[in-house]
A and B are shown apart, each in its own frame.
Chain A
Amino acid sequence: MNARAFLIGGAFVVFVGACVVTLTGDWRGFFSVESARRMAQLARDAMPPAHDGAFLAKVGYASMETVAISLIGTLIAAIGGLALALPGAGRWGHAAKAIARLVMNVLRAIPELVWAGLLVVAAGLGPFTGTLALAVHTAGVLGRLFAESLENISAEPYNALRHHGTGAAAAFWYSTFPQVLPQIISYALYRWENNIRAAAVLGVVGGGGLGQMLHFHLSLFQMQDAATILIAMIVLVGLVDFVSNRLRIAMSA
C-alpha cells in the first residue's frame, strides 16, 4: 500500500509540475506589478456600486428575467427528461435504450454555456436562447437521474395492472408515475437551484438576464454598474438556495 501511495503521489507531483511549467509564460504577466495596479484600479472604479433608481430597476428586471429563465428552462427539462428516461430505462427495448442513453450523455456532456453559444445560431441572442440552452443540458442530466429512478422502483404495481388488461399508458400514469413522482420533484428542485447560477452566467454569451447585462457593462468598463449587477447575482443565488431548501424540506414531510 505504501509503495503504491508513493508512486501515485510522485506521479501527481510530476504532473502538477508539468502543468505549472506549461502556464509559466502567463504567470509572470499575472503577478506583475502592472496587473496588480490594474486590478486595484478596477476595484477602486467599482466603488461605490451604482445605486440610482433607474439602473436598479433595470437590474431588478434582469434578475426576474434570470429567475424566469431558470424556471422555464428547468420545467421544460423535467418534461424532456422524463420523455428521455422512459426509453432510457428500457421500456421500449434495447435499441431505444441505447439511443436514449447516448442522447442524454451528449446533452449532459456539453455545458450549458456551450449550448447557448451553439443555439444562438438558431434562436438569436436573448433570454429564449438561454432558456433553451438550459433546458437542453438539464434534460440530459435529469433524464439520466429519472431513468435510474424508473429502474429502481418495483415493477409489481405496473405488472398487476397490465395483467388485468390495462393499456400501457394508463398503467404508467396509475402505477409508475405516482411511484417516481417524489423523486422527480426532488431532482428537479435540486437542479433548479443549480440552474439559477447557470442562468445568471448564460447571459455572458448572449442568453439574456443578469449575465448579458454584466457582460455588456464590463466590456464598456463601467465598473460601478458591474459591481451592482454582481451583488444582485450573489443575492439572487443565495435567495434561491434558501427557498429551494425550504421547499425540499416541506415536500419530503
Chain B
Amino acid sequence: MAAVSPTLSRNSDDPAWRSRLLWLVAALTIIAPAAWLTEFNPGKLADAHALKTTARFLATMFPPALAPEFLARIAVDAWRTIAIATVGTVLAVLIALPLALVANRQLSISSLGGGAMCAICATLRGAVRWILIVLRSIPEIVWALIFVRAVGLGDSAAVMAIALTYGGMLGKVYIEIFESQEAQASRALLANGASRAQAFVYATFPVCLPEFLSYSVYRWECAIRASVVMGLVGAGGLGQRLDESMKSLNGGEVFTILVVFVVLVWLADKLSAWLRQQTA
C-alpha cells in the first residue's frame, strides 16, 4: 500500500475555498451597486396604487376587443407591418451585398500569388467593414427615432431604419459566408484573368447561395418583430396601434393586438423555416 502523500494531511482544507470566496466577494461588489443603480425595489410592485391600476388594466383585457371594424384595422396594420419588414429587408440586402463584395478578401486581385494586399485595397476593405460595424451598432429603434423626427410619423422611418441596421448585420454575415468558402475556385479564375464580378458569379456565389438565402430569410423574420417594436415610437404598423391602446389603458385592444402579433411572428417563423428547407 502506498504511503499517504506527505503534502496532503488527512484533514486538508478545500483548496478551492479561497478562490471561491474571492469570486463571491467580487460578484457581490458588482451586483450590489448594480441593483442599487436599477432602483431595484420589488416593493414597488406591491404598492397599493400600482396594484389597483394593474388590476384594472388586467380586468379590461377580458373580453378582448373583437369588434369587426377594430379587427379589420388590425388586419391592415398587420399587413403594413409585413410590408415594412419585407421592403426593409430587401433594401438591406441591396445595401449589404455590394459592400460585402467590396470587402471580400477572396476577390482581392492584388494579393494573388500570396503577396499582401495593396495598401489602398486593404484600406478600402477596412473602411467598408467599419461602415458595416457602425450601421450594426446603432439599434434600429434609435434610427427610427431619428427618422421620425426628420420625416414625421409613419412607415418609411421604420423601413429605412431596418434597411440601415440590417444592412450592417447582413453585410457582416455575407462576408463571413463568402470568406468561409474555399478560396481556390475564385482565385483560380482571378489568376486566369477573369474580372472580380465573373469570379464571384461563377465560383463563390453558387456555393454560398443556400446559406445566403437562409440567413436573409431569418433576418426578414427578425424584421417583422422589429417593425412592431419600432411602431411603438411612431413608426407605423401594429406597433403604433399597440402604443395607442397601451397609453389609453385599453386592455382588450392590447390583448387582441398582442395575440395577432404572436400569431404573426409564429407564421413568419414557420414560413421562414419552410423557405430555408427549400433552399437547402
Residues of chain A at the chain B interface (Cβ within 8 Å):
4, 8, 15-16, 18-20, 22-23, 26-27, 29-30, 35, 38-39, 42, 64-65, 67-69, 71-73, 75, 106, 109-111, 113-114, 117-118, 121-124, 126-128, 130-131, 197, 200-201, 204-205, 208, 214-215, 218, 221, 226, 230, 233-234, 237-238
Contacts and interface: CB of A to CB of B under 8 A. Distances in A.
Interface stretch (B8-16, B83-91, B106-114, B171-179): B83-91
Nearest to B30: A71
A126 B38 CA distance: 8
Contact of B31 (A75, A123, A200): A75
A218 B242 CA distance: 22
B278 A126 contact: no
A234 B156 contact: no
A218 B149 contact: yes
B229 A215 contact: no
Given A23-B84, A35-B151, A29 B156 contact: yes
Q: Which secondary structure dominates where chain B touches chain A?
A: helix
B146 A218 contact: yes
Given A29-B154, A68-B34, 18 more contacts: A15-B86, A22-B80, A23-B155, A26-B156, A30-B151, A30-B159, A35-B151, A72-B38, A109-B266, A113-B229, A121-B54, A122-B51, A201-B142, A204-B142, A208-B38, A215-B233, A218-B146, A230-B138
Interface residues of B, number: 61
B185 to A, nearest CB: 22
B33 A68 contact: yes
Contacts of B228: 111, 114
Contacts of B24: none
22 contacts: A8-B275, A23-B83, A29-B152, A30-B157, A30-B159, A39-B151, A42-B149, A69-B38, A72-B31, A75-B31, A111-B225, A111-B228, A111-B229, A114-B242, A117-B232, A121-B57, A128-B41, A200-B139, A204-B142, A215-B233, A218-B146, A237-B137
Contacts of A19: 82-84, 86-87
Contacts of A64: 37
Contacts of A126: 39
Nearest to B262: A109
Interface of B: 30-31, 33-35, 37-41, 44-45, 50-51, 53-54, 57, 79-80, 82-84, 86-87, 90, 134, 137-139, 141-142, 145-146, 149-152, 154-157, 159-160, 225, 228-229, 232-233, 236, 242-243, 246, 249, 254, 258, 261-262, 265-266, 275, 278
Q: Which secondary structure dominates where chain A touches chain B?
A: helix
Given A16-B86, A20-B87, A29 B38 contact: no
Given A22-B83, A29-B156, A118-B246, A68 B38 contact: yes
B243 to A, nearest CB: 7
Contact of A238 (B44, B137, B275): B137
Contacts of B243: 117
Given A20-B87, A124-B44, A221 B149 contact: yes
A230 to B, nearest CB: 7
B23 to A, nearest CB: 12
A75 B31 CA distance: 9
Contacts of B278: 4, 8
A215 to B, nearest CB: 7
A52 to B, nearest CB: 22
Contact of B39 (A109, A117, A128, A237): A128
Contacts of A72: 31, 34-35, 38, 40
B37 A127 contact: yes
A46 B87 CA distance: 29
